[in-house]
Amino acid sequence: MSSVSQKSRETEDRSGSRNPFTRVMRPVNTLVERFIPSALVFAIVLTVIVALMALVLTDAGPVDVLVGWGDGLAGLLAFMTQMALILLLGHMLANTRPMRRLLARLGGLPRTPLQAYVFVFLVAAVASLLQWGLGLVVGALLAKEVAAQLRERGVRLHFPMLVAAGFSGFAVWHMGYSGSGPLTAATEGSFIAEQLGRTIPVSETTFSTWNVVAAVATVLAVAVALALVAPRRGDRIVELEVDARDQGVAVDEEVVTPADRLDASRFLTTLVGLALTAYLVVYVLRGGTPTLDFVNWSFLALILLLVRSPFELTALVKDAASNVGDILLQFPLYAGILGMMTATGLITVVSDFFVSVSTPQTFGVLALLSAGLVNFFVPSGGGQFAVQAPILLDAAARLGVDPAVPIMAVAYGDQWTNMIQPFWALPLLAIAGLKMRDILGYTTVTLVVSGAVFAAVLLVVGAG
């Protein structure tokens, strides 16, 4: 894996940066690098905290807490699989040959550094709105492609800023097509549908007028902010000093036996892709609406139609699978947390607190702030939604607030503090060959600007 030149990085560290945001964020950089543990450790710590809260704040005894936790561990297995598939399929789609060729062409469009920073952000934002796993990978791959092509033209770019712009596109993912919170609420049989006694269609959440306006406003505001803080002439920059463009997933297509000829044939993957596409069309014509399964099958159908053979499909799966392990390991812990809160009545205690400090007008903003805080401990959007949404939906019902508000407030809070939470940045940083401290000064700007838009929108919706 190629990376930014170590020599250039060391020069940057000694000489300092003229970017004021980078200097201001150095204490935060130290905190993130040295004291924030892995997401798995956070999940374990949060389990202990919730168990202690249940013992102190409810009448439940140790055995009640233990049983609630154990019974809850398997409570999100279907949801866990859906979340794992979203990440797996997004990574696979980004690495298909047609997508890599598209990224190579897009990489040649920017002509100046400022155009490059804004362009990478916009493309990553659109990709994240389509599918969050796709957005993460596209942000990193496009940053490297743009940096390499502009370097060939003799244009100097600050590569950490370019990668930060790619990651900033992730700040709108939960407002889009693959937003796990709204899709869960729209899925029959989900834990949200069971709590509410009905589903909440995406027409009231993801595709509501106010959320679409919020998404557009966020993208525009962050694009302007990134343009304003981008390095200018005379600022010290760190370039991508070598052509570090990823060559894609290696596919072993050695054809020796008749079975190999089947594995190298496009016929079978295309056949299944067309059949799945036909099913999705029939589903929509019969009045079906987007759910988690619909989103996953639509991306699987696209992948099946784009790959050249089962050989390539298998190689893409193997390459993407390593990114899914964290979800598979952590989600049972999130499910156990939800089980404890439900079985002991802790969910009602916390809901009472929200009701006591909120009004219908301020509820959305307070939910946003709480979701942003919880995201540090539960960085998975789906996991956070499983832990927090039942509490906020209960409080919203008691305050007479539309359930779409807490659903989207959790979605906004999750994507908001992702900008300074390293969990989802790690795959992108690994592709780019950087560390969180290299981009944090810029992604904090995204945090501030996007947070202002989210809060303003929720205040307006609450007042209405």
Question: C-alpha distances in angstroms, 460 versus 31, 188, 235, 448?
Answer: 35, 30, 40, 19
Comparing CA positions, the residue from 102, 99, 143 lying closest to residue 121 is 143
Name the DSSP class of 289.
-
Q: State how far the Cα of 71 lies from the Cα of 75, in Å rounded to an integer.
A: 8
State how far Cα 363 lies from the chain centre. 24
Q: State how far the Cα of 166 lies from the Cα of 131, in Å rounded to an integer.
A: 14
The phi, psi pair for 438, rounded to 5°, reads -70, -25
What is the per-residue pLDDT for 5?
41
pLDDT in tens, 293-304: 888 899 999 999
- Six-digit token pair at 386? 């499983």
Cβ neighbors of 210 (< 8 A, separation 6 or more) are: 457, 460, 461
pLDDT in tens, 49-83: 989 999 999 999 999 999 999 998 887 788 788 87
Neighbours of 259 (CB within 10 A): 9
DSSP 201-268: -GGGTTTSHHHHHHHHHHHHHHHHHHHHHS--TTS------S--------------SHHHHHHT-SHH
**Measured over all CA atoms, what is the biggest interatomic distance in the chain, rounded to whole angstroms?**
71
What is the per-residue pLDDT for 2?
41
What is the per-residue pLDDT for 213?
96
Cβ neighbors of 110 (< 8 A, separation 6 or more) are: 116, 119, 120, 146, 150
Contact 191, 75 (CB under 8 A): yes
Contact 84, 330 (CB under 8 A): no
Q: State how far the Cα of 406 lies from the Cα of 236, in Å rounded to an integer.
A: 43
What is the per-residue pLDDT for 428?
73
Cβ neighbors of 296 (< 8 A, separation 6 or more) are: 82, 85, 86, 89
Q: State how far the Cα of 140 lies from the Cα of 107, in Å rounded to an integer.
A: 12
What is the per-residue pLDDT for 279?
96
Q: State how far the Cα of 280 lies from the Cα of 291, in Å rounded to an integer.
A: 12
Where on the phi/psi map is residue 402: left (φ > 0), alpha (ψ -120 to 50), or beta? Answer: beta
- Six-digit token pair at 289? 């609406």
DSSP 50-98: HHHHHHHHSS--HHHHHHHHHHHTTTTHHHHHHHHHHHHHHHHHHTSHH
* pTM of the predicted model as reported, rounded to 2 decimal places: 0.78
Q: State how far the Cα of 32 lies from the Cα of 132, in Å rounded to an integer.
A: 23
Where on the phi/psi map is residue 411: left (φ > 0), alpha (ψ -120 to 50), or beta? Answer: alpha
Q: Give the sign of the dihedral formed by CA 331, CA 333, CA 335, CA 337.
A: negative
Contact 183, 202 (CB under 8 A): yes
Q: State how far the Cα of 316 lies from the Cα of 143, in Å rounded to an integer.
A: 21
- Six-digit token pair at 389? 């949404």
One digit per residue, the tens of pLDDT, for the chain of length 464 reads: 344 444 344 334 333 445 555 555 556 555 655 666 666 777 788 889 989 999 999 999 999 999 999 998 887 788 788 878 888 888 888 888 898 889 889 988 999 999 999 999 999 999 999 988 888 888 888 988 898 888 888 888 888 899 999 999 999 999 998 888 999 999 888 888 888 899 999 999 999 999 999 999 999 999 999 998 888 776 677 777 655 555 556 666 676 677 778 878 889 999 999 999 999 999 999 988 788 888 889 999 999 999 988 888 988 998 888 777 777 888 888 888 878 888 898 877 877 887 788 888 899 999 998 888 877 766 677 777 887 888 899 889 989 999 999 999 999 998 998 888 767 776 777 777 777 778 888 898 999 999 999 999 999 998 87
